[in-house]
Chains A and B, each alone.
Chain A
Amino acid sequence: MLDKRRMLICFVLIGLIMMAVPSLAFGQGATTIRMWTFLNPAGSSGREVALRQIIENFEAENLGIKVVVEPQQWDVMTSKFLAAHQVGNAPDICWVLDDDLGAALELDALADFESMFLSEWSEEDIQDVDDAFWRIGNKDGKHYQVTLSRNYISIIYRKDLLETKGIEVPIMTWDDLIVAAKELTEVDPETGIMRWGLGQAFATEQADPPLIVQGILNEQPSLFAEDGTARWSTEAGIRALEMLRNMILVHGITPESAVTSSVEDMYQEFSAGKYAMIIGAGVRVESLRNQATFDGSVVDMMLWPSWDGEGYSPGAVKGWHVGVWSQSNHKQEAGKFVEYMFNEESDRLWVTLGGQVPVRKSTIAREPEFFNDPANDYLQTMAKGFSDYGFAQPWEFRIRGWKLDLNNAVQAVVVDGVPVEEALKNAEMEFNRRNQK
Chain B
Amino acid sequence: MARRGNRGVLLVVPSLILIFMFLVFPFFYSLYYSVHQTYFFTVGRFSGLSNFIEVLGNLENIKSLGRTLVLTFSSAAITLVLGILLALWVNKKTGITALVIQSIGLIPWVTSMVVGALLWRWIFIGDLGLFNYIVVLLGGTPISLLSNAKNAMMSLIYVVSWRTIGYAMVLLLAGLKAIPEELYEASEIDGATKLQSLTYITLPLLRTSLLVTAIVLTLSNFNNMTVPMVLTGGGPGRSTNVISMELYRQAFVYYDFGIASAMSSLVFFFNTALVLLYVRLVKWSV
User: CB within 8 Å of B: which residues of A?
Assistant: 8, 12, 75-76, 79, 82-83, 86, 103, 106-107, 193-194, 203-205, 255-257, 259-262, 265, 268-269, 272, 274, 400-401, 404, 411-412, 415-416, 434, 437
Contacts and interface: CB of A to CB of B under 8 A. Distances in A.
24 contacts: A76-B252, A79-B40, A79-B252, A82-B40, A86-B40, A103-B255, A107-B40, A193-B127, A203-B233, A203-B235, A255-B126, A259-B147, A259-B237, A260-B236, A265-B121, A265-B125, A269-B126, A272-B128, A400-B255, A411-B235, A411-B236, A411-B237, A416-B237, A434-B256
Contact of A257 (B14, B126, B253): B126
B234 A204 contact: yes
Nearest to A433: B54
Contact of A400 (B126, B152, B254): B254
Contacts of A401: 253-254
Interface size classification for chain B:
20 to 34
B233 A8 contact: no
B259 to A, nearest CB: 9
Nearest to A99: B253
B146 interface: yes
For the complex of A and B, list the 5 residue pairs with the smallest distance between their C-beta atoms, beginning with the closest: A415-B237, A260-B235, A257-B147, A205-B233, A203-B233
A83 B41 CA distance: 7
B128 A274 contact: yes
A82 B14 CA distance: 33
Contacts of B91: none
Given A257-B126, A400-B255, A8 B14 contact: yes
B37 interface: yes
B232 interface: yes
A86 B126 contact: no
Contacts of A260: 146-147, 152, 232-233, 235-236
B12 to A, nearest CB: 13
A269 B128 CA distance: 8
For the complex, would chain A's binding face be called helix, strand, loop or mixed by DSSP majority?
helix
A73 to B, nearest CB: 11
Contact of B235 (A83, A259, A274): A259
B144 interface: yes
A205 B229 contact: yes
Given A75-B252, A194-B127, A411-B235, A86 B147 contact: no
A265 B121 CA distance: 9
Interface in B28-58: 37, 39-42
Contacts of A76: 252
Given A86-B40, A256-B147, 6 more contacts: A12-B14, A203-B234, A204-B233, A265-B125, A415-B237, A434-B254
Interface in B152-195: 152
B42 to A, nearest CB: 7
Nearest to A76: B252
Contacts of B39: 106
A205 B144 CA distance: 20
A261 B42 CA distance: 35
Nearest to A83: B41
A193 B142 CA distance: 12
Contacts of B14: 8, 12
Contacts of A265: 121, 125-126
Nearest to A262: B233
B255 A79 contact: yes
A257 B37 CA distance: 38
Contacts of B146: 257, 260
Nearest to B152: A260
A82 B128 contact: no
Contact of A103 (B40, B122, B152): B40
A293 B168 CA distance: 41
A437 B144 contact: no
Contacts of B147: 256-257, 259-260
B234 A205 contact: yes
B236 to A, nearest CB: 5
Contacts of A416: 237
Interface in B247-275: 249, 252-256
Contacts of B255: 79, 103, 400
A193 B128 contact: yes
A204 B232 CA distance: 10
A87 to B, nearest CB: 9
A153 to B, nearest CB: 19
A257 B42 contact: no
Interface string B224-247: 000001001111110000000000
Contacts of A437: 37
A5 to B, nearest CB: 8
A15 to B, nearest CB: 11
Nearest to A205: B233
A398 to B, nearest CB: 8
A353 B225 CA distance: 38
A350 to B, nearest CB: 29
Nearest to B258: A437
Nearest to A78: B255
A212 B41 CA distance: 33
Interface string B123-149: 001111000000000000000101100
